[in-house]
Amino acid sequence: MKITDIRFGMLRVPLKTAFKTALRTVEQVEDVVVMIHTDTGHVGYGSAPATAVITGDTHGSIMHAIRHYIAPRLVGQEIANLNRITHAVQASMEKNTSAKAAVEIAVHDLWGQLYGAPLYQLLGGGEPAITTDITISVDYIDKMVADSLAAVDRGFESLKIKVGKDIGLDIERTKAIHAAVEGRALLRLDANQGWTAKQAVYALQTLEDAGVRLELVEQPVKAHDLEGLRYVTERVHTPVMADESVFGPMEVIELIRMRAADIVNIKLMKTGGISNAVKIADICGLYGVDCMIGCMLESSIGVAAAVHLAVAKSDVISKVDLDGPSLCRFDPVSSGVLFNESEISITDAPGLGIRAIEGLVAVDEPLA
Ligand SMILES: C[C@H](N)C(=O)N[C@@H](CCC(=O)O)C(=O)O
Ligand SMILES: [Mg+2]
């Protein structure tokens, strides 16, 4: 099975409610879909959103990077030589992790199709079912409480509460949600870099003193501020998770060396795909550092790949934030991963098992 061509499409899916974080507000998922064609007629699917505020990638940069830097190294390659392909993807250029991720996802989809097995089985196997949390966007307190109660009624037992806009309000937001759902859901906070280290310590100690037990706090300080992250980690009981601070394996090694955080959030769009995500899980496994598997606001194509990885690496990945599809009004993708609110399961379909993508708009430009 040899790669012959790489084509693009755009997939847009409206959200149930606006997705609001300290970094951005979004009304719909907008993914570049990558389709890798082969000489056997098999097509592999991958996708990437443009999370410019986190990765620096835009739809234009994703397609440009694939078209001009990645694709020329892949056309003609045998899918059976997976490591050679992922190495070529990673060596093609610096950064551009979303483009690399979309391509690696599609290549892994084909790898599964080549061997007639769902991807998670080739990555090491596991129980093909996981449970995700759901994100509660940062908003007025009443709206966040109502959204949290609705999520709990939908069966979510873990809420990822977005904060990081205003330290005083963030404390009130968290207290109000805690009071409303106490005992019915675990609470995770994600400040998306919105606090200073001192503010984070103040907020978390205030919540701890008030008896608000948090499962973890994610990325309280700026991405580049590893010292600040360590400052927080050393001063609070709440486990601290690094998200925007760590993209690839080298950054994770540095984070562990500095003891800057307790948990690592692995996202394919930050790692540049599955090969580096596996490396990060293995590094964290060696050092006994717990991991979350996360996603950007993205469609169920890329999230499906993350589900396969989470199942295969469940010894290290104990926390799941793969709620992209649950935040959408509908799922236009029929695949081997079934998203049913908090419960996600995988069928026996080979690769990612993608059968149809409704509303996919082809981007008709030649590769070169
Ligand atoms: C969607 C997921 N729950 C999430 O919050 N992901 C990111 C933000 C991604 C985005 O802005 O698209 C996170 O910070 O964890
Ligand atoms: Mg985060």
Encode pLDDT of 44-88 as tens digits.
Answer: 999 999 999 999 999 999 999 999 999 999 999 999 999 999 999
Percentage above 70 pLDDT, the chain: 99
Say how far apart CA 297 and CA 103 lie, in whole Å: 18
Q: Is the residue at 352 inside a domain?
A: no
Q: Give yes or no for residue 97 CB within 6 A of ligand 1.
A: no
Query: What is the structure's pLDDT at 366?
Result: 58
Cα distances (angstroms) measured from residue 121 to each of 164, 167, 190, 351, 359: 39, 44, 32, 9, 30
DSSP 366: -
Which domain covers residue 239, as residue numbers?
Answer: 121-346
Q: What is the pLDDT of residues 109-141, one digit of tens each?
A: 999 999 999 999 999 999 999 999 999 999 999
Given the residues 267, 270, 313, 319, the one annotated as active site: 267
Complete DSSP assignment for 1-42: -BEEEEEEEEEEEEEEEEEE-SS-EEEEEEEEEEEEEETTS-
Q: Decide: 36 and 103 in contact? Cβ < 8 Å.
A: yes
Residue 344 has phi, psi (to 5 degrees) of: -125, 130
The answer to whether 100 is a known ligand-binding residue is: no
Atom of ligand 1 nearest to the CA of 21: 11
| Ligand 1 site, residue 51, Cβ cutoff 6 A | yes
Dist. CA 157–CA 167, nearest whole Å = 25
Same domain, yes or no, for 100 and 131? no
Q: Which of 204, 155, 150, 197 is nearest to 177 (CA)?
A: 150
If you average pLDDT over residues 313-339, what whole number do you get? 98
- Say if 293 falls within a structural domain: yes
Specify whether the CB–CB gap between 226 and 253 falls below 8 A. Answer: no
95 is in an annotated binding site: no
Asked whether residue 88 falls in the same domain as residue 169, the answer is no
Domain membership flag for residue 351: no
Q: Which two tokens stand for residue 219?
A: 């990325």
> Does pLDDT of 367 surpass 70?
no
Q: What is the CATH number of the domain that holds 205?
A: 3.20.20.120
pLDDT of residue 41 exceeding 80, the answer is yes
Mean of pLDDT over the chain: 98
Asked if 59 and 131 sit in the same domain, the reply is no
CB 218 within 8 A of CB 244: no
Length of the chain: 368
Say yes or no: 97 and 137 in one domain: no
- Cβ of residue 324 lying under 6 Å from some atom of ligand 1: yes
Give dist(CA 263, CA 212) in Å, integer: 20
Q: Is 133 in the pocket of ligand 1 (CB under 6 A)?
A: no
Q: Is 164 in the pocket of ligand 1 (CB under 6 A)?
A: no
Catalytic (active site) residue 95: no
Atom of ligand 1 nearest to the CA of 324: 1
Let me know whether 153 and 45 are in one domain: no
Distances (CA, A) of 79 to 41, 42, 84, 107: 13, 11, 9, 7
In a domain, 91, yes or no: yes
- 328 in any annotated domain: yes
Which CATH number fits the domain that encloses residue 38?
3.30.390.10
> Looking up tokens 């590094």, which residue turns up?
283
pLDDT in tens, 208-263: 999 999 999 999 999 999 999 999 999 999 999 999 999 999 999 999 999 999 99
190 shares its domain with 238 = yes
The answer to whether 218 is a known ligand-binding residue is: yes
Q: Using alpha carbons only, give the angle 301, 283, 160 rounded to the nearest 5 degrees.
A: 50
Dmax over Cα atoms in the chain, in whole Å?
63
Same domain, 329 and 229: yes
Q: Is the ipTM of this complex over 0.95?
A: yes
Instruction: Return d(Cα 257, Cα 273) in angstroms, integer.
Output: 23
CA 296 to ligand 1 centroid distance, Å: 4
Is 156 found in the same domain as 33?
no
Long-range contacts of 200-203 (CB under 8 A, 24+ apart): 200/228, 200/232, 200/236, 201/231, 201/232, 201/235, 201/236, 202/167, 203/167, 203/170, 203/171
Model confidence pLDDT, tens digit, residues 167-189: 999 999 999 999 999 999 999 99
Return the residue matching tokens 């061509």.
5
Distance 122 CA to ligand 1 centre (A): 27
Could you tell me if the CB of 24 is within 6 A of ligand 1?
yes
Residue at 14 is within a domain: yes
Query: Ligand 2 center to residue 246 CA distance, Å?
Result: 11
Looking at the 3D structure of the chain, how many domains does it have?
2
pLDDT for 365 beyond 90: no
Q: Do 101 and 134 fall within a single domain? A: no
Structure tokens at 44: 């592999």
- Cα angle: 318, vertex 319, 324; to 5 degrees: 140
User: What digits encode the pLDDT tens for the residues 5-20?
Assistant: 999 999 999 999 999 9
Residues 36 and 173 in one domain: no
Residue 368 maps to a domain = no
Same domain, 206 and 300: yes
Confirm whether 175 is a catalytic residue.
Answer: no
- pLDDT attached to residue 278: 99
Candidate list 162, 270, 313, 319, residue with the active-site label: 162
CA end-to-end span of the chain, whole Å? Answer: 22
Residue identifier of the C-alpha nearest atom 13 of ligand 1: 296
Same domain, 311 and 186: yes
Q: Report the nearest-CA residue for atom 7 of ligand 1.
A: 296
